[in-house]
Amino acid sequence: MNGWRVRLGVGLGLIVVALQFVPTSRTNPPEREPSAAPPAVHAILVRSCYDCHSNETRWPWYSRLAPASFLIAHDVVEGRRQLNLSTWSQYDARRKTRKLREISEQVQQGKMPQWYYLLLHPDARLSVEDRQLLVDWAGEAAVAYEVRDGKNVARMIDVTAEKFESATQSRAAPGAKPGSVPAQ
């Protein structure tokens, strides 16, 4: 009875060792752009989003060990495919608007950052204030893009930190905290 368990354990061990020789891509392409987000928002994006959604991924030591290396590489490739903040200027106005709305929705619903990422990256956890700031910023920035005459001509309102704060405070309902999202 114990003989088959030993053989199974040795077999699985050999498979894990063999998997270490299967290469995975851990690259950071050179395309990088300065962020158009206000500094407070940019800091949150770097801390909580850039590992999967930019070309500035920090590859931890365990990203070199199979099978974790396969999962991490896949998540980064998929994250960059969905949204790559390093190539933001290459998106047309419609795509930027759609991505900003998706950011707002996913952050508001607590879907991003993903729970399993947070297990090993607790510093990426978003506070209530971080979530609110990202949701407000993404909503304001999405409204700032407009498509004219079907030509995808983008006009980005200069959303500096001061203008962003005053815009979110002026939208707040009477008695609401500054920066809170108005009731829909």
Residue 31 lies in a domain: no
pLDDT digits (tens, 9 = 90+) for 58-109: 999 888 888 888 889 999 999 999 999 999 989 988 899 999 999 999 999 9
Give the lowest-confidence range in 96-100, 119-123, 126-130, 175-179: 175-179
Q: Band the pLDDT of 53: cuts 50, 70, 90.
A: very high
Task: Please provide the size of the chain in residues.
Answer: 184
- State the number of CA atoms in the 13 A half-sphere of 152 facing the CB: 10
Looking at residue 25, what is its pLDDT? 73
Range of the domain at 86: 36-171
Is 184 part of a structural domain of the chain?
Answer: no
> Is 3 a member of any domain?
no
- What percent of the chain shows pLDDT beyond 90? 45
Q: Tell me: pLDDT of 156 over 70.
A: no
Q: Give me the DSSP letters along 9-27.
A: HHHHHHHHHHHTTS-----
Q: In which band, very low, low, confident or very high, does the pLDDT at 22 lie, cut at 50, 70 and 90?
A: low
Return the pLDDT at 180. 43
How many domains is the chain built from?
A: 1
The answer to whether position 120 is within a domain reads yes
Within a domain: 156: yes
